[in-house]
Amino acid sequence: MLEINLSGLKLKSPIILASGVLGVSFSSMKRVINAGAGAVTTKSIGPKSRKGYKNPSIIEIYPGTFMNSVGLGNPGIDEFILEIKEIKENNIPLIVSVFGDTKDVYLEVATKAEKAGANAIEINISCPHAEVASIGIDKDLTYKVVKYLKEHLSVPLFVKLNPNVTFLGDIALAAEKGGADGVVAINTLTALKIDVNTKRPILSHGSGGLSGKAIHPIAIKKVYDLYKILNIPIIGCGGIDSWEDVIEFFLAGASAVQIGTALYREIEIIKEINKGIIQYLKEHQYKSINDIKGLAHKFKIQEVPDFD
């Protein structure tokens, strides 16, 4: 009931580990798979090691809602290849998130990841507290980077979208036109929290990305709107911590989902979510989660009334 085919990736569950959470080592990613995830996405990996920003780099600002500014800290692709190979030796479906400062650097990192055994590549053009966000706010840059990478890669290519734009549809359509096999909607939202006593931003970097429960309705809206205009799969991401959240994403039009922030509680939450989805499908007499994709669009939304 939970099996999906995501651009050629056959997954036992529609739940995928989101980039940036537990995606640095084989051991942590194996725990996520053992808990019932269908695939894992690594932390964003660049061409060389990067320390990221100093602490405090992540804070919980409301229950289940966090703000972070990690700064794309990572070991670099050459070192991370060892982790990729160990992951693949254990047959874990793997999506490697990559970033760079030019399209050639993106390709360098992605190619090395693919050769090491990545099942798919996710390009991070949307981190709200790093320079890569400049790509994800420009439809022409998005198109050029995606097209260039797609011409050189053989594995599926997913694009993680930046929600901090006026109209996300333009960026998503540019990614589709460039040949993307799917989009991830959405990355974190730009946010700022100031300590009233010290009178300064709490995070060392200042601003950061908002994730968790507070952004879930926003992510649902983005997926709902994108489903109307895209012909490629949408991977819903933002604020999932229950089976209802996953069902909601599918009803809005998602083909899969990513979970991240909720894992701060416990990884076993994935098992609970899978069980809840199966129970829901049985109660509503659906044979597969794919049967509910986009059903919310059958409901006619009330139009603005005339003032004649």
Which positions are annotated as active-site residues? 127
Q: How far is CA 302 from CA 120, 210, 305, in A?
A: 40, 31, 8
Tell me which residue has tokens 């089976």. Answer: 243
Please state, in angstroms and rounded to a whole number, the distance separating the CA atoms of residues 16 and 23. Answer: 11
39, β-bridge pairs:
16
In the chain, at which residue ranges do the beta strands (DSSP E only) sit?
Answer: 4-6, 9-11, 15-17, 39-41, 58-62, 65-68, 94-98, 120-124, 157-160, 182-185, 189-191, 194-195, 200-201, 208-212, 234-237, 256-259
- Note the residue count of the chain: 308
Which residues, including other chains, have CB under 8 Å from residue 42's CB and lie 6 or more apart?
A: 19, 23, 24, 29, 80, 83, 84, 94, 95, 96, 97
Provide φ and ψ at 46, rounded to 5°.
-110, -170
Burial of 154 (0-12, 13-18, 19+ CB in 10 A): exposed
CA 54 – CA 68 distance, rounded (Å): 11
